[in-house]
Structure 1
Amino acid sequence: MVEIQQTVGAELDRISEVIDPLGERFAAAGHELFLVGGPVRDAMLGRLQNDLDFTTSARPDETERLLKGWADATWDMGRAFGTIGCRKGDWQIEITTYRAESYDPDSRKPEVDFGDSLAGDLGRRDFTVNAMAVSVPGRVFEDPHHGVVDLAQRVLRTPGRPQDSFSDDPLRMMRAARFAAQLGFDVAPEVVEAMTEMAPRIEIISAERVRDELVKLICAPWPRKGLTLLVQTGLAELVLPELPALALERDEHHRHKDVYEHTLTVLEQTIDQEDRLGGPDFVARFAALMHDVGKPRTRKFVDDGTVTFHHHDVVGAKMTRKRMKALRFSNDQIDAVSKLVELHLRFHGYGSGEWTDSAVRRYVRDAGDQLERLHILTRADCTTRNARKAARLRRTYDDLEARIAQLSEQEEMASIRPDLDGTQIMEILGIAPGREVGQAYKFLLELRMDEGPMSEEAATKALLDWWAARQG
């Protein structure tokens, strides 16, 4: 506890130039102001960011008045919920009036009633580690629900009965999984029990809000903890049913573990390579999570006792696209993840021999702007415990990346196009715009893939030969 107190003191000293003058303005007007929730928790963990949340006895109009002349900018998009936002230098600040809420059982949107005490405000919060506050400028620590104890023990509990909390706002069940993934905390048994009991309540939550929590969970430092909790409680069956379905299958190459465990391992091995992408990357991580979701639908038992999953890459890409549409992801994200799922086996289709220039060009063309992520996913998917086989796969992929780099220097592979454009095709063949121009273009593109760059003269001859054969 002493260590936590020292950490909090150091973090509050670091932001004193912001919190102390702000607190003095509210105190002079006869109002209480407390740093609250996530910022207090993060200060105790030594990871306080530039987003600060406060709660106050002042009503929104009064808060807005007190911020004028001090904040660099203010906004009131959250006024209906008692929140006024502002910016002060590099700090983003939200100040919310004490709240006492009631919920419609069929909606997560609260009927906002302003409260009159800090205790009432803290009691309505999601978890005890988010129900702590520090007065400013006085810096008196308030912790009526023993959040500091739970923080020290690295456990998530609710201030009151978890059933009541999750009934009021079912999204808090997703937040429990997300905080487990972000903080690396365990979830108290009674909270897990309530999540399991009340999982169906998540269906009243909008797809967009579920999506946002899922993205934060997957991009967190320990996504396995959060995903495992979603599967354990049955929430995954409702928000990402493709994931728990994997636990029923057995991976054909690794009989000692099911596809579910294999998938979580691939996710972690993707994370281990993210320095290639500059940091946490949702597209790469979600592609790792979804890469084998087609296996349950494509499983076939062969007479010799083996199991096959033919075309699970194609089926999985379609399933991924459908799920991401249901969760309201952007078209760009859907296209990127689906492409990676569809291509994740492409490397293995070429065998272990020497790659031809043509094969390398096609690999790069098909991957497009997802090539770097495809490198990561393919390497992460090699989870065999056979050290010799793993080393061989790594060497083979090292060779492929080297060949891509070599050809890229020679041929500008990132923008492979035929050696003749559409206008030239029409002039050479004497045809007008139409389907035949597209067919000729496709022929020249395939030729470019097979033969590499050609001179205009050679490409013209090849085009004319192709055209003559068609006419004959």
Structure 2
Amino acid sequence: MSSESAGNPVSGSDDEGLAEKVALLRRRATAVLAHMAPAATELGAVFEAAGHELALVGGPVRDAFLGRSSADLDFATSASPDETQALLARWGDSHWDIGREFGTIGASRRGRDGEPDVVVEVTTYRSDEYDPASRKPVVAFGDTLEGDLSRRDFTVNAMAVRLPSLTFVDPHDGLVDLAAQVLRTPIEPERSFDDDPLRMMRAARFAAQLGFAVDPGAWSAIVAMADRVTIVSAERVRDELDKLLLSRSPRAGLEVLVETGLADHVLPELTGMKLAVDEHHRHKDVYEHSLTVLDQAIDLESGPEGPVPGPDLVLRLAALLHDIGKPATRRFEAGGTVSFHHHEVVGAKMSAKRLRALRYDKETVKQVSRLVELHLRFHGYGDGAWTDSAVRRYVTDAGPLLERLHRLTRADCTTRNRRKAQRLSSAYDELEARIEKLRGEEELAAMRPDLDGEQIMAALGVPPGPAVGRAYRFLMELRLDRGPLGPEAAREELLAWWATQEG
């Protein structure tokens, strides 16, 4: 793999360790690119034969140096979108132009000789800029690969491999930054973030995904320009937040958001949880507690075949936001204690409001806010004194969120008191055992009254209407309190209740 770069700042450097890391990255990339080369070089030959440049760019190149391969490949080209579409139609088994507005044409091809399918996106050389009065980027097409790379978010994503020659192009020394694990912009950070303010969010996201540090110059620019992110649509901000939260280390990215001031504009409640610890240390730092709960909830996610396969966005959002209502409900009580009465109820409303503002779908909003509302419910079980009725209600109220609630509740224990932590864990073990016992005896997952609507109407001699709904709710409460009674006993209870209603 030959090279085109801005120079070789490592070879003349005293940092031999960094030079060794760069050499290791090159060896990894050679192996990965050799594996993906057949499809990529063949496509490169197609474009070259038509008189156009084609280069593998961005994430796939970065990941190749990190020893990771990808079936989804991003390319940049000198060809126009129309020319690209025509070439991909010949190369692939299918193609689409949903990204044409931004110069992007996609295609897929079935794997040959047992190899996996290949999905590609090819984008005309371009630069993205924002009009100060607009929330959408303005696309301007360019004419050189180097110009296209200069408009990338960070140098580690501004590397390319020309095809079909497999020439490595690194005009901004992204490989050195990759070895140093630093996020630096290819051009002045102020200019880069002004062109596309979402790049500031990407700094936080890549800190979480890659574990890299933000370059001091980029960090200073984000601090100074954080309010510029408000020009970006809520949907694009949400997508970056999702990628951050679903990464291997969300904490690192969330800390970047808070410490640079970006969170003030995209998730202000997160900053709001940074309650100043008073001199008497009468309460925990809610912000640090919430990050720890998130870490612990991630550790409790299950494998692909388990009940909560990770990464689980709903669980992670709920863990992050479960105490969002504490700042609004904090009260200093007599005797020096601190209370947060009903913070779970307030927090559920605040969570729903913020997630709707970020344009999350209705189901995600509903599930996350419900988990926030329920996250304290277990603490009434501390002495193990719940009746079977209370256990049934716990399961019924959680519904399909029960497995996530199990994990959120366990993750919410961050006490350093080992004895207290063990007591809480044992109590929850007991609760889960009771749930499983009742589930086996009573089919808790399909909890319903002993009589359905038709049977209710027959027993009471009433037509469909509000009375049937009231009777159904009565029987459901009876089912929760006393367990399954059977149709005959339930009918007797219903008739006795109905007599009091008529009277």
CA shift for structure 1 position 178: 0.8
In 1, are the aligned partners of 2:282 and 2:337 still within 8 Å (CA)? Answer: no
2:449 equivalent to 1:422:
no
Determine which of 233, 241, 252 is the counterpart of 1:206: 233
In 2, are the aligned partners of 1:103 and 1:109 still within 8 Å (CA)? Answer: yes
CA shift for structure 1 position 198: 0.5
Determine which of 8, 11, 15 is the counterpart of 2:36: 15
The residue correspondences of 1:246-325 to structure 2 (distance < 5 A) are 246-248=273-275, 255=282, 257-275=284-302, 276=306, 277-325=308-356
Correspondence for 1:358: 389
Q: Deviations over 1:235-279 (max 9, x none)?
A: 11111111110111669xx95740000000000000001114122
Distance in 1 between residues matched to 2:140 and 2:502, nearest whole Å: 79
Check 1:282–1:14 CA distance in 2 against 1; reply closer, same or farther (3 A cut).
Answer: same
Correspondence for 2:268: 241
The residue correspondences of 1:338-377 to structure 2 (distance < 5 A) are 338-377=369-408
Q: Deviations over 1:375-410 (max 9, x none)?
A: 000000011111111111111111111111111111
Distance in 2 between residues matched to 1:417 and 1:209, nearest whole Å: 42
CA shift for structure 1 position 100: 4.3
What SS does the aligned partner of 1:383 have? coil
Correspondence for 1:65: 86
Question: Structure 2 length as normaliser, TM-score?
Answer: 0.90
Q: Deviations over 1:18-62 (max 9, x none)?
A: 011111112222222111111100111112221111111222222
What SS does the aligned partner of 2:403 have? helix
Correspondence for 1:32: 53
Tell me: higher relative CO, structure 1 or 2? Use CA pairs within 8 A at least 6 residues apart. 2
Correspondence for 2:417: 386
Distance in 2 between residues matched to 1:127 and 1:156, nearest whole Å: 6
Q: Deviations over 1:152-174 (max 9, x none)?
A: 01110000111111111111111
What SS does the aligned partner of 1:76 have? strand
Correspondence for 1:181: 208
In 2, are the aligned partners of 1:249 and 1:295 still within 8 Å (CA)? Answer: no
CA shift for structure 1 position 105: 2.5
Distance in 2 between residues matched to 1:255 and 1:152, nearest whole Å: 44
Correspondence for 1:161: 188
Output the amino acid matched with 1:300.
R
Distance in 2 between residues matched to 1:256 and 1:294, nearest whole Å: 15
Correspondence for 2:443: 412
Distance in 1 between residues matched to 2:497 and 2:230, nearest whole Å: 58
2:89 equivalent to 1:48:
no
CA shift for structure 1 position 355: 3.1
The residue correspondences of 1:190-205 to structure 2 (distance < 5 A) are 190-205=217-232
Distance in 2 between residues matched to 1:342 and 1:102, nearest whole Å: 42
2:464 equivalent to 1:433:
yes
Distance in 1 between residues matched to 2:183 and 2:45, nearest whole Å: 33
Q: Deviations over 1:112-169 (max 9, x none)?
A: 3332221111111110000001111211111110100110011100001111111111
Distance in 1 between residues matched to 2:437 and 2:94, nearest whole Å: 52
Correspondence for 1:80: 101
Distance in 2 between residues matched to 1:441 and 1:63, nearest whole Å: 62
Gaps of 5+ in 2: 1-21, 111-116
Correspondence for 1:118: 145
Correspondence for 1:92: 119
What SS does the aligned partner of 1:260 have? helix
The residue correspondences of 1:137-156 to structure 2 (distance < 5 A) are 137-156=164-183
CA shift for structure 1 position 351: 2.9
Distance in 2 between residues matched to 1:191 and 1:357, nearest whole Å: 57
Distance in 1 between residues matched to 2:411 and 2:469, nearest whole Å: 38
Output the amino acid matched with 1:93.
V
In 1, are the aligned partners of 2:322 and 2:344 still within 8 Å (CA)? Answer: yes
Question: Structure 1 length as normaliser, TM-score?
Answer: 0.96
What SS does the aligned partner of 2:90 have? coil
Q: Deviations over 1:357-387 (max 9, x none)?
A: 1111100000001000000000000111111
Check 1:74–1:470 CA distance in 2 against 1; reply closer, same or farther (3 A cut).
Answer: closer
Taking only aligned residues, the RMSD between alpha carbons, in angstroms, comes to 1.6
Check 1:450–1:102 CA distance in 2 against 1; reply closer, same or farther (3 A cut).
Answer: closer
Check 1:65–1:438 CA distance in 2 against 1; reply closer, same or farther (3 A cut).
Answer: closer
